[in-house]
DNA sequence: TGCAAGGATGAATACGTATACATAGAATCG
DNA sequence: CGATTCTATGTATACGTATTCATCCTTGCA
């Protein structure tokens, strides 16, 4: 039995010995192949292949002072964030980098997490949360780590930041509603303290005001389905319904839609509704929500790139910030007047009694 | 201006000098604090704090031959996987480990990805995909890396594997339907080639057969919403509807539900429906799907632990596998007879014409 | 033919930490 | 008080790679 037990992993030295060259030449062969003689290279490659050599990224990182890894600190819950994480991963993988993921449930966990993060000498770190304290950002900035705030507009003065244009996007949704004749609009935000929430409400209120419409604010309490579902109770018990509800996040809007249905209130029949984010589910036929689609791929790409090339500014220069425009997606929830197009059977057979299956085998 | 330019990061040597001790003592102070004299320890901690020293995990990993990082290779799309990734992250963070995430869109990317993965000397690697070739698994096994297959039952003979009990879970769903009197059941799978899909169909078919019911198979083509939505067309055009549809994944089921609605077919009115996975959205009021809930946290925990403690088996021992039972979640989609409880307004006001807003202010 | 230039490679070192080994002082005991 | 054990710390080395510098050999040119 020749191969018993756990054998020592193959190093570049092993390859060097097998190929009859020095370790330095092996390293060159993998990093700058053009400076090594063709014959030698071939011999080394053969030896490496035969031994099953695979370069040790840890050692490389130690020497080169760069890990090729970008970290991301992301909230553990929410459809939106899950979507963003996937985008990060795709972008980084595409550019040959890796993603070290830290997700946190409680805000208190973030401190511990950041401490752990700092130990790995990451090429950059993406902080994706609208609720990280600015004092903490400033402190992290000191470590020399290249930070990027994602979806946290207020951080723009402290660290580079990448966001969708929340205010303009929300304004676009508001204008859309105003054009449809809405005069009384209710804005349902997620967390009033979040900078994204404030920006979105600002855009909506400003635009609606200039169109002569009113815009009240209601806080759902979280950017979750459940929060939206519960907030629907408050709407359902109002004396008079608004013409439209602008919800600060798609997931909250889904909850709101489902919650309102319990009261017999549906969009677009009884009121119009918009969301924000452009989650995949917004396109599902079950919701078909009018929303502002965040260019997630593009945002993630910017964040990844900004994080990877650390800014060499000495810390007194104002960091660059990226604001990308979203695009309006028009769904059924603001499609008033135009009756649901092209589903004849649906109208005949839906939900109006047991005869719905008539005419079918 | 004392601090211009990019200053060299602080190392344990710097701390040692500042505290008037040797580098070794500093290292001890951070790893085995009890063997260093209290006075010395205090001096070192003070110096470290003052200089802003943070241990270099890269160097530590190189020396200790262990990175404290677990990798995960996960498909880039799908609600299910996004959910699982979050669970991985939570589990690993909780045990002081980190998650290196690799997501892939195309199966072809996996090869490249695995190559990149191998360079980082991970403590373990979780392969989360039902479609990784078994030959590839065997090859990876050779590298000495501690592998765990997640949701890939067929891999159980080659590498340790963690899955929900697909067959038993599906059987439980089937029995539920049989008890409700379903005699003709249609099983809509995602990808027929996937081992999870096969196991789930097997459990359903076996149980239904022994209950005297039939169970046909239809392939949606993918585990996605869109696939389910399209598959609904084929169902809608059938001459006679089955009593129930068992869908191989929740996301596919959502698509199926929304698709069937276009044909005026709804659950539980016209047929019953079950899903599989127990996604958060299955609990949303909009779908309220009967499904088999995978204990995602628990599965992730097992996978993380199995990956972290590399198996010391020399590669001829059969690896241990973990199979966890899921739990049935009963939703509206199999709630026949019992009329939708407690939403009186809903029945009166929904979708039957413009008078729906009557009686409201 | 002799010399310069350039190309290919080897030797040596540094990256920052953990740890085996050595050592010096303190404490214990006869 | 000398021998011995124990505790606290310093010295030295290894982890695996990238890179600088030096060296040798080939080639071109006068």
For chain A, how many structural domains are there in total?
3
pLDDT at residue B278 greater than cutoff 50: yes
Confirm whether any atom of chain D, the nucleic acid strand, is less than 7 Å from CB of B93: no
- pLDDT for position B140: 75
Cα B234 from Cα A41, distance rounded (Å): 58
pLDDT per residue over A33-69, tens digit each? 999 999 999 999 999 999 999 999 999 999 999 999 9
Is A9's CB less than 7 Å from nucleic acid strand D?
A: yes
CA-wise closest residue to B41 among B28, B53, B54, B51: B28
Nearest to A236 by CA among A226, A245, A249, A224: A245
In a domain, A4, yes or no: no
Closest alpha carbon to B322 in B152, B170, B201, B195: B152
The verdict on residue B355 lying in a domain is no
Q: Which pLDDT score, from 0 to 100, does residue B55 have?
A: 95
Statement: the CB of A12 is under 7 Å from strand D: yes
Residue A188: which CATH number? 3.40.50.2300
Strand C within 7 A of A63 CB: yes
Give pLDDT tens digits for B87-116: 898 888 888 889 999 888 777 777 778 888
Provide residues 84-113 of B with CB closer than 7 Å to any strand C atom.
none
Q: Are A109 and A296 in contact (CB under 8 A)?
A: no
In this structure, what DSSP letter does residue B153 have? Answer: G
Residue A335 has pLDDT above 80, yes or no: yes
Mutation site, A68, A74, A119, interface B, largest B CB count within 10 A: A119
Average pLDDT over residues A327-340: 84
Predicted confidence at residue A223, as pLDDT, reads 94
pLDDT tens per residue across span A176-225: 999 999 999 999 999 999 889 999 999 999 999 999 999 999 999 999 99
- Residue bearing the bigger pLDDT, B297 or B154: B297
Residue A114 CB neighbour total at 10 angstroms: 21
Check CB contact of A255 with chain B, cutoff 8 Å: yes
Neighbour-count burial of B225, counting CB atoms closer than 10 A to its CB (0-12 exposed, 13-18 middle, 19+ buried): buried
Residue A144 parent element (H or E): none
Question: What's the pLDDT band for B350 if we cut at 50, 70, 90?
Answer: very low
Stronger pLDDT, A186 or B336, i.e. the higher one:
A186
When mean pLDDT is compared across A138-147, A195-204, B267-276, B340-349, the lowest value belongs to B340-349
- For residues A283 and A180, membership in a common domain is answered with yes
Answer whether B250's CB lies under 8 Å from B281's CB: yes
User: How would residue A140 be classed by pLDDT, with cut points 50, 70 and 90?
Assistant: confident
Each residue's pLDDT tens digit, B202-217: 999 999 999 999 999 9
Q: Is the pLDDT of residue A330 over 90?
A: yes
Asked whether residue B210 falls in the same domain as residue B273, the answer is yes
The region of weakest confidence among A325-339, B253-267, B310-324 is B310-324
Percent of chain A with pLDDT over 90: 63
The answer as to whether B270 is a domain residue is yes
The answer to whether A62 CB is within 7 Å of strand C is yes
Task: Indicate whether A333 and A200 sit together in one domain.
Answer: yes
Q: What is the pLDDT of residue B338?
A: 58
Average pLDDT, whole number, for chain B?
A: 86
pLDDT for the residue numbered B109: 76
- Give a yes or no: residue A349 inside a domain: no
Provide the β-strand partners of residue B100: A100, B71
The predicted-structure confidence for A67-81, as pLDDT tens digits, reads as follows 999 999 888 888 888
B118 in the same domain as B82: yes
Measure, in angstroms, how far nucleotide C4 C1' is from residue A18 CA: 36
Whether A278 and A183 map to the same domain: the answer is: yes
Confidence of residue B323 (pLDDT cuts 50, 70, 90): very high
Give residue A131's pLDDT.
65
d(CA B114, CA B66): 19
Residue B172 lies in a domain: yes
Same domain, B202 and B177: yes
In chain B, whose CA is at the least distance from the CA of A63? B59
Q: Which residue has the higher pLDDT, B327 or A139?
A: B327
> Which pLDDT band, with edges at 50, 70 and 90, does B351 fall under?
very low
Q: State whether residue A348 sits within 8 Å of chain B by CB.
A: yes
Q: What is the pLDDT of residues B166-176, one digit of tens each?
A: 999 999 999 99
Is the Cβ pair B261, A346 closer than 8 Å? Answer: yes
pLDDT cut 70: percent of chain A above it: 87
Q: Is the pLDDT of residue B254 over 50?
A: yes
pLDDT at A316: 53
Q: Does B257 touch chain A (CB under 8 A)?
A: yes
| Residue B247 and residue B160 share a domain | no
State yes or no: pLDDT of B355 exceeds 70: no
Report the pLDDT value the prediction gives residue A242, as an integer from 0 to 100: 97
Mean pLDDT of chain A: 86
Give the closest residue to C20 (Cα–C1′). Answer: B24
Q: Tell me, rounded to whole angstroms, the distance of Cα B312 from its chain centroid.
A: 26
**pLDDT for res A158:** 80
Q: B residues 146-175 near A, CB within 8 Å?
A: none
Dist CA B331 CA B273 (whole Å): 9
Looking at the structure, do residues B262 and B320 belong to the same domain, yes or no? no
Does B344 map to a domain? no
B89 interaction partners in chain A (CB closer than 8 Å): 76, 101-103
Mean pLDDT across the stretch A285-291?
97
How far, in Å, CA of A1 to CA of B165, rounded? 38
pLDDT value of position A7: 63
Q: Report the C-alpha gap between A152 and A144 in whole angstroms.
A: 20
pLDDT surpassing 70 at residue B359: no
Chain B residue whose CA is closest to A93: B102
User: Are both B160 and B182 inside the same structural domain?
Assistant: no
Residue B47, pLDDT above cutoff 80: yes
Residue B37 beta carbon within 7 A of nucleic strand D:
yes
Q: Minimal Cα–Cα distance from B103 to chain A, Å?
A: 6
* Cβ contact, residue pair A262, B345, below 8 Å: yes
The pLDDT value given to residue A352: 37
A192 with A93, same domain? Answer: no
CA distance B41 to B20: 11
Q: Is residue B357, in this structure, part of any structural domain at all?
A: no
A59-83 core/surface letters (b: 16 or more CB in 10 A; e: else): bbbbeeeebbbbbbbbbbbbbbbbb
Cβ of A37 near strand C (under 7 Å)? The reply is yes
Give the nearest partner residue to A86 out of B58, B82, B352, using CB atoms. B82
Evaluated on CA atoms B303, B308, B313, B316, the torsion sign reads positive
Query: Chain B window 193-222: which residues touch A at a Cβ cutoff of 8 Å?
Result: none
What's the CA gap between B46 and B44, in Å, rounded? 5
| Average pLDDT for A228-232 | 98
Split at pLDDT 50, 70, 90, the class of B328 is very high
Whether residue B2 is predicted with pLDDT greater than 50 in this model: the reply is no
Residues B314 and A4 sit within 8 Å (Cβ to Cβ): yes
B172 and B229 in a single domain? The answer is yes
Judged against a pLDDT cut of 90, whether residue A257 lies above it is answered with yes
Domain of residue A38, residue span: 13-55
CATH of the domain at B44: 1.10.260
> Is the per-residue pLDDT at B344 higher than 90?
no
* Position A347 in a domain: no
Give the pLDDT band (50/70/90) at residue A337: low
Q: Find how far residue A13's CA is from the centre of its chain.
A: 43
**A176 and A212 share one domain:** yes
Query: In whole angstroms, what separates CA B183 from the centre of its chain?
Result: 33
Whether CB of A346 is under 7 Å from strand C: the answer is no
**Which bases on strand D have an atom closer than 7 Å to a protein beta carbon?**
7-12, 14-20
Q: How confident is the model at residue B300 (pLDDT cuts 50, 70, 90)?
A: very high
């Amino acid at each position: 039995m020749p191969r018993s037990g756990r054998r020592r992993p193959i190093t570049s030295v092993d390859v060097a010995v097998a190929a009859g060259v020095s370790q330095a030449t092996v390293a060159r062969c993998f990093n700058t192949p053009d400076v090594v003689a063709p014959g030698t290279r071939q011999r080394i490659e053969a030896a490496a292949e035969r031994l099953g050599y695979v370069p040790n990224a840890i050692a490389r990182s130690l020497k080169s002072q760069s890990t090729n890894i970008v970290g991301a600190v992301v909230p553990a819950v929410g459809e939106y964030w899950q979507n963003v994480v996937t985008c990060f991963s795709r972008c980084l993988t595409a550019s040959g980098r890796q993603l070290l993921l830290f997700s946190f449930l409680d805000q208190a966990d973030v401190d511990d997490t950041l401490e752990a993060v700092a130990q790995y000498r990451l090429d950059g770190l993406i902080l994706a949360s609208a609720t990280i304290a600015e004092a903490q950002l400033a402190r992290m900035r000191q470590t020399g780590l290249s930070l990027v705030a994602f979806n946290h507009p207020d951080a723009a003065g402290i660290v580079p930041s990448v966001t969708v244009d929340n205010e303009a996007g929300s304004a676009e949704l508001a204008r859309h509603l105003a054009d449809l004749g809405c005069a009384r609009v209710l804005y349902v935000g997620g967390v009033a303290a979040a900078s994204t929430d404030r920006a979105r409400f600002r855009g909506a209120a400003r635009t609606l005001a200039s169109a002569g419409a009113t815009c009240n604010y209601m806080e759902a309490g979280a950017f979750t389905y459940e929060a939206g579902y519960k907030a629907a109770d408050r709407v359902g018990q109002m004396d008079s319904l608004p013409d439209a509800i602008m919800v600060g996040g798609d997931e909250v809007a889904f909850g709101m839609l489902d919650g309102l249905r319990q009261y017999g209130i549906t969009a677009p029949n009884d009121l119009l509704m918009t969301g924000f984010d452009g989650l995949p589910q917004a396109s599902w036929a079950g919701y078909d929500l009018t929303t502002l689609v965040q260019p997630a791929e593009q945002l993630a790409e910017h964040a990844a790139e900004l994080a990877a090339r650390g800014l060499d500014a000495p810390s007194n220069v104002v960091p660059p910030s990226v604001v990308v425009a979203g695009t309006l997606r028009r769904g059924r929830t603001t499609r008033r007047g135009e009756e649901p197009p092209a589903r004849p059977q649906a109208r005949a057979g839906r939900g109006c009694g047991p005869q719905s299956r008539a005419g079918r085998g």
